[in-house]
Structure 1
């Protein structure tokens, strides 16, 4: 892409200079006059703020907004050319301007017959070539036809990677660990993740494992990431010391684009699983980065269900009008909370946002939020107390209707999951309505 083309994609006008932005800025003062509990009393408003898609229900009525606020945010999205930008992403244009690349994590979970192009080439067949290779390799390991250097089956896997090469796969692994099908498919197997360069973490990862039955997956796009490669060398030494240097080829595989360094490290390039420059790190869970270790633990058929779910949301995001588009609605609400209401944090999962525009201009408004969160009721015994006592932090609550592991105890009024969901519904209401404290002063008149 030429320098001129890059410049033509970058806008010289900041979004904060547009009329919709200025309209929203003025709208803030109007919002501040109304308490959220009063907004919640408007049933028509609340019903209009419920959206459902493919078993996912979004209720954003407890956000500090009027119905008119959303219309203003939609106009802001239009001013930002959001629909065109979404289309550009799906069409493979180089929207990653800083690295001059396509952004096509959506291709990683696309059906075989889908056409998604980068630089004029349909990349979906390449994706499925790797997925088929992973499926075949995972089945060989799980069935015992691929064995370690001493002939023993490899039942334990350590995935070595950091950042996007670790967080997404661990997140999915955590979900599948309590899924009934996942439990059955993983029986007799272990999957561990090693990210931190701290030797204590290495020791934890290796505790109770036998090199003879362990497979190490080294995940690094360039095979140069300092922490990952030091941990990889440490595990290579662990295997070599126990089984000899020749055992590395049987006990270590790679997820990388740098086959030269993979081979130099001692891993057979035939046992390297590719991904591409258009896969951003934090979006890489649906590539070999996540699919390989998860397929080794659970089997490819289980992981493929996860990929199909992601593809479903991709289609929803690409084709659904903004008024019913769950990812777009959540994104616009984050913009409203951070850049207009001035709330710097949100209870959630991943950190996002930067302090400059897409073409490098420093932003005159806050754009990056601090995201954090906790599973279940853990948060209400820690940072929820701070929120209830007046620190305003917008929160997203994500609940599941049916538990993977239901528990019904004799004599209990509700099941464990119903207790959890009672908290799930109560906390947003408590935060939305608040509590009015009336103080009574008692004067004792002493004679």
Structure 2
């Protein structure tokens, strides 16, 4: 199947079969019940709905799905041409059709000897990909050499990453995770994203200008929040007696000219095919490389590369990213679950839900397909969550007894990086217990103590939170989003909705700074009234 001729999910025979099967098996008094499914076929069900790849194990057995639904979902992936689109992405074709760009983030984590393996199913790949890999190798070498020099420079004690969105969420989450896992060393690495000056001011008050390196990360080097923070940091640097802006400021951007105009001494570039929310593997990962070092950064890439190889070569029926994406489609479009809760049972992964919010909702929060047609079905769910076991004392009440059914995704790590006795067994016991309680429920001795049970969950398990394991986990999530978007027939790699608010903000900001009547700049009485109060 040519990837350009792929049908949308609701145009396939499998979609109609899934609708019939759902109506027959999952609706009504005799609807599918997890407790009965495990009573009938427990051990075998766990085996059939268990999937592993690159050190990540996923137990999907506690979801409201049966063998026939899984079989039909596999057919849906085939009929929607998921494999054809995957191969086109790996071949460097312009699958981001609205922007006429290739999607290249996978290539940024490929080793120089990985090109043939990654594109083995796409013989139409041209010299363009080979050239890109050569450029990536040079860029990565320069980035890691610079990161190593910063780590070895005793004069630099603090590094501040200034970025927002994909230039912040991924690197921030990775550094937090690997610091908690004992894999971060070297200078202290901080992150600033919010345009609210309280974040930057609070950090600057703790720093010395002569001991700080600022990494300004923006694909265009024109992102409003980032450039405001960068300008304020540069002004603070000068006010503190700093004189060598070129030494203490570097840029990470696809716009080298703007970086030079700002006064940064170095620009670490990456190509236009790297979307922001997929960019941590590229030069955007400079702050990560400074925190975890060359070996850590290369291990992160290697873990992601292992998941890439699994995704590129494993049949749909046992392909972990594909199976998770199919489950997402099943939950969203058939069960009509509007959200998914992500509960990482590891302090280092506390920002994982925020990272996934951008990855999933910015990628697949779309209402028209690739041909511009309005979609007759829902796409991305709302992704939300909090680190376990904190969430148990906040929103798990709703998960167990609320009127809405919300699938929960538990993420756990087997080995701790600390030596505190008693913590890890109790933490893992809580994760396992919550998943079991959601499924089992409880009759209780009064209506208020009744737990309906039969509530779905997925359990993801890593052996340890090290760079390779984290790399594999994040690549798994990326491919999962890609597959869901392919099935829904949307472009997961543009984000026009992000731009609309920015267009409104510029004239409002100008009007807020003036003394004139604001209506003409805002266009609606509500905004004008609020502006008068603010002024």
**TM, length-normalised to structure 2:** 0.74
Q: Which residue of 2 is the match for residue 55 of structure 1? A: 55
- The 5 Å alignment of 1:267-286 reads 267-268=264-265, 271-286=266-281
Q: Aligned equivalents of 2:10 and 2:393: distance in 1?
A: 39
- DSSP 3-state at the match of 1:131: helix
Gaps of 5+ in 2: 120-124, 343-352, 448-535
Q: Which residue of 1 is the match for residue 437 of structure 2? A: 430
Q: Which residue of 2 is the match for residue 213 of structure 1? A: 211
Hey, which of these two has a bigger chunk of helix by percent?
2
- The 5 Å alignment of 1:7-406 reads 9=4, 13-29=7-23, 30-32=25-27, 33-41=31-39, 42-43=41-42, 44-115=44-115, 120-122=128-130, 123-144=132-153, 153-182=155-184, 185-186=185-186, 189-244=187-242, 246-268=243-265, 271-290=266-285, 292-348=286-342, 349=353, 350-351=356-357, 352=360, 353=364, 354-390=366-402, 391-406=404-419
> Offset of 1:142 from its aligned partner?
1.7
Change in Cα spacing, 1:40 to 1:355, as seen in structure 2 (3 Å) is farther
Q: Aligned equivalents of 2:196 and 2:296: distance in 1?
A: 32
Q: Aligned equivalents of 1:343 and 1:179: distance in 2?
A: 34
Q: Aligned equivalents of 1:133 and 1:302: distance in 2?
A: 16
- DSSP 3-state at the match of 1:216: strand
The Cα offsets for residues 317-358 of structure 1, whole Å up to 9 and x where unpaired, read as 111112211111111100000111100100133232222222
- DSSP 3-state at the match of 2:64: coil
- Which one has more relative contact order, counting CA pairs under 8 Å at least 6 apart? 2
Q: Would you identify which runs of 4 or more consecutive aligned residues in structure 1 move more than 3 Å?
A: 116-119, 437-440
Q: Aligned equivalents of 2:66 and 2:181: distance in 1?
A: 39
Change in Cα spacing, 1:326 to 1:55, as seen in structure 2 (3 Å) is same
* Further displaced range: 135-144 or 307-316: 135-144
The Cα offsets for residues 174-223 of structure 1, whole Å up to 9 and x where unpaired, read as 111122342xx33xx21111100001011122131111100000001111
Q: Which residue of 2 is the match for residue 148 of structure 1? A: none
Query: What is the CA RMSD across the aligned residues, in angstroms?
Result: 1.8
Gaps of 5+ in 1: 1-5, 145-151, 409-414, 441-447
Contact 2:150 2:290 in 1 (8 A): yes
Q: Aligned equivalents of 2:370 and 2:418: distance in 1?
A: 44
> Offset of 1:261 from its aligned partner?
1.1
Contact 2:157 2:211 in 1 (8 A): yes
Change in Cα spacing, 1:119 to 1:207, as seen in structure 2 (3 Å) is farther
Q: Which residue of 1 is the match for residue 454 of structure 2? A: none
Count of matched residue positions in the alignment of Structure 1 and Structure 2:
412
**TM, length-normalised to structure 1:** 0.88
